[in-house]
Amino acid sequence: DVKVTQSSRYLVKRTGEKVFLECVQDMDHENMFWYRQDPGLGLRLIYFSYDVKMKEKGDIPEGYSVSREKKERFSLILESASTNQTSMYLCASSGGGSKADTQYFGPGTRLTVL
């Protein structure tokens, strides 16, 4: 079974802090994604990566950056957290071949910025 793990289930930070969210997948997947999920807005793509050291902006990259130094790990960084970044953050991964577009999600990190 594919396993995607996220470093924290719940996180509380203060405005202006630098925040790191870590995601690890164990299936040698090429593609990794970061989303945020808010009531009424659904899933919104922040950044994705289809290879080590590669990154692509999603629909809402402002205020975020990412890092992919190893194939299995994809980090989301909030350079200076703000209250409007309070949200559920979901990481996902997908592999190659005919199932390239099937994404597997982690359990999510609920981030609160005070």
Partner 1 sequence: QKEVEQDPGPLSVPEGAIVSLNCTYSNSAFQYFMWYRQYSRKGPELLMYTYSSGNKEDGRFTAQVDKSSKYISLFIRDSQPSDSATYLCAMSGGRGSTLGRLYFGRGTQLTAWP
The DSSP symbol for 79 reads: S
x/- map, 36-55, partner 1, by CB under 8 A: ----xxxx-x--x-x-----
Residues 85-104 that bind partner 1 (CB under 8 A): 90, 92, 94, 96, 99-104
Please identify, using beta-carbon distances, which residue of 100 and 114 lies nearer to partner 1.
100
| Exposed e or buried b per residue across 8-21, where buried means at least 16 C-beta atoms within 10 angstroms of its C-beta | beebebeeeeebeb
β-strand 10-13 against 109-113: which pairing, if any? parallel
Q: Which residues in this chain contact partner 1 in the complex, by CB under 8 A?
A: 4, 30-31, 33, 40-43, 45, 48, 50, 56, 90, 92, 94, 96, 99-108, 110
